[in-house]
Amino acid sequence: MQPSFLDRAIARVAPGYALQRYQSRVQFEAAQLFFGPGGYNGARLDRPATKSWLPRRGSANSDTIPDLLALRARCADLERNDPLAAGAMATMATHTVGTGIVPHARLDRDLLQLSDEDATAWERQADRIFHWWAETKACDYTGRQDFYGQQSLVLRGAFGRGDIFALRRFEDRPGALLSTRVQLIEADRVCNPRGMFNSTTLMDGIELDANGRPAAVHVLDRHPGDTLGGYAGLYATYPDANWTRVPMAGAGSGDPQVLHVYEMLRPDQARGVPKFAPIIETLKQLSRLSDAELMAAVIQSFFTVFLKSTSGEVLMPDMGDPGGVPQNTAGLGAQNDVRLGQGAIVGLAPGEEPVMAQPNRPNPNFDPFYQSFVRQVGVAIEMPYEVLIKHFSSSYSASRGAILEAWRAVLNRRDWMVRNFCQPTREWIITEAIARGLLIAPGYFENPLVRMAYLGCEWTGTAMGQLDPESEINAAKKRVDLGVSTIDEETAQLTGGDWDQKHAQRVKERRLRLEGNLEEPFQTLAGAPAAATEPPTRAARDRQEALSG
């Protein structure tokens, strides 16, 4: 098969890509000649829409690793400077993490053969220890964030740069209950030492064993793009850089020491891809479009006048800076410099006449055009358009449908966060607490089933908002009455709280209100007051005697 004109043109500017393209065409034509064409039109080369579409078939790593540096840099730039990208990332972090994804211990009572009282006491002590660790900055190796702040950083790092690493560190601090610390490592710091090439045993900083399992990570001592502190970028000064090999699991226990948090899209994928990778070009073009429209509207908001000389030459002032000097001042003296501004009066030279610019901004077609592409952005990141731009202008049903669709994605991301970061971190804390004797757990280190029974946990986060709270409450009550849900589940969905704590607080409030004579006791079917769980107060006894006559 002879190379086409397009093949030869591409070969002049990109020989490597041209060779891959020609090789794919030859292999495809040979396969069709030998086996005959298949039944899918999308695979044919004789159709106008697909004959020039020859994507390369690559492995999970060959399709991602070469592009990661550029993808991370561009996604980071969008997150810093593009309002739409920054808002989308903030919305994902707010909805998924919010004020924090909080654990509630749930023991397997049957396997551990514990009574409800003993199991509840153990769960409360475990939650008490973890909350102490999580709600102080003792959990952070750098001492900057509490655990719930780390959750937000993990989500932003995994989605904004493809992946993030959490290292288990130990450090004794004065007054600290536990020694476990979590150190978060950005994706760029995990890379091949000394610029080594990728291989079957080393893939972009991930060391693999003979079975392809991650065995260790190689961590650079600082960010490779760090230009502060006298460094001109470590990629240019490798002699000054140091890498640390960190095993993925402990040598004796086998417990994980490194958590690699990323969204795995294909088998054998060693590194994660930023969430905005498929829409980088769309976001950048939308940003340029909005900037251009804004600049055009600003310029036309001034009293815009062009000076036309007798020779027919149009003299244009500097439109980008309202207070600037004209770009084209041919034929004008310094005393006749034209400056645009609010309410500016421009003097004309002999033979010059004013020409008014046509005010065609704001562009009435800009908003519909912009919104159509924003909807595509929302589809790519599983965020409905209304939720992405924080604007609900449709009917109640449409708005609720958008919220429910967004909430499905939130629950999936929250479950992904729990499985990859939150629950493994909590297991570190519970394990150290048991080893230190702060929690008594017989058989925890000997029996894997017993260990799993003690590590049972439910995680709850910020609840979904309600457009009609009264209807939501009535629906929750009906679900509980039908037996398809529990009060605990409905509490987590409606308020994001813990029913056990709320129930204890309500019992306390009920008792105090009865003692303060602020409400009546519950009535039985016979009309007599229900028996109180505690001795009635003097006011309650007087009221009961008055009712009985």
Q: pLDDT per residue over 220-239, tens digit each? A: 988 888 777 655 554 544 56
- Per-residue pLDDT band at 479 (split at 50, 70, 90): confident
Mean pLDDT of the chain: 82
Give the CA angle between residues 224, 229, 230 to the nearest 5°: 90
Taking residue 22's Cβ as centre, other Cβ atoms within 10 Å add up to 19
pLDDT of residue 342: 61
Q: Within 10 A of 174 (CB to CB), how many other CB atoms are there?
A: 4
Average pLDDT over every residue of 80-108: 93
Is the separation of the CB atoms in 246 and 141 below 8 Å?
no
Alpha carbon distance 418, 421 (integer Å): 6
pLDDT of 527 over the 60 cut: no
Q: Could you tell me which of 252, 259, 216 has the C-alpha nearest to residue 435? A: 252
Helix (H) or strand (E) holding 262: strand 258-262
Measured between alpha carbons, how far is 540 from 99 in angstroms, rounded to an integer? 42
DSSP 389-446: HT---S-HHHHHHHHHHHHHHHHHHHHHHIIIIIHHHHHHHHHHHHHTTSS--TTTTT
Please report the pLDDT score of residue 308 as a whole number. Answer: 61
Given this model, what pLDDT does residue 355 score? 65
Residues 245-257, mean pLDDT to the nearest whole number: 87
CA distance linking residue 86 with residue 83, whole number of Å: 5
Is the predicted pLDDT of residue 324 greater than 50, yes or no? no
Q: What does the alpha-carbon distance between residue 477 and residue 471 come to, in Å, rounded to a whole number?
A: 10
Q: What residue type is assigned to position 534 of the chain?
A: E
Query: Among the listed ranges 188-192, 252-256, 307-311, which one has the minimum average pLDDT value?
Result: 307-311
- Which of 436, 437, 433 has its CA nearest to residue 455? 433
Could you read off the pLDDT of 480-501 as tens digits, one per residue?
888 888 888 778 777 767 777 7
The model's confidence at residue 438, banded by pLDDT at 50, 70 and 90, is very high
- For range 376-383, the mean pLDDT: 92
| CA separation, residue 213 to residues 112, 170, 243 (Å) | 33, 25, 21
Indicate the burial class of 158 (C-beta count within 10 angstroms; 0-12, 13-18, 19 or more): buried
Q: What is the mean pLDDT of residues 81-109?
A: 93
255-270: per-residue pLDDT in tens? Answer: 899 999 999 999 999 9
Contact 380, 279 (CB under 8 A): yes
More confident residue, 215 or 470: 215
Return the exposure string of 259-286: e unless at least 16 CB atoms fall within 10 Å of the residue's CB, then b.
bbbbbbeeeebbbbbbbbbebbebbbeb
**CA dihedral in degrees (90, 94, 100, 106; nearest 10)?**
-130
The band of 157, judged by pLDDT with boundaries at 50, 70 and 90, is very high
For the question of whether the overall pTM of this predicted structure is more than 0.85, the answer is no
CA distances from 15 to 6, 19, 65, 141 (A): 12, 6, 21, 49
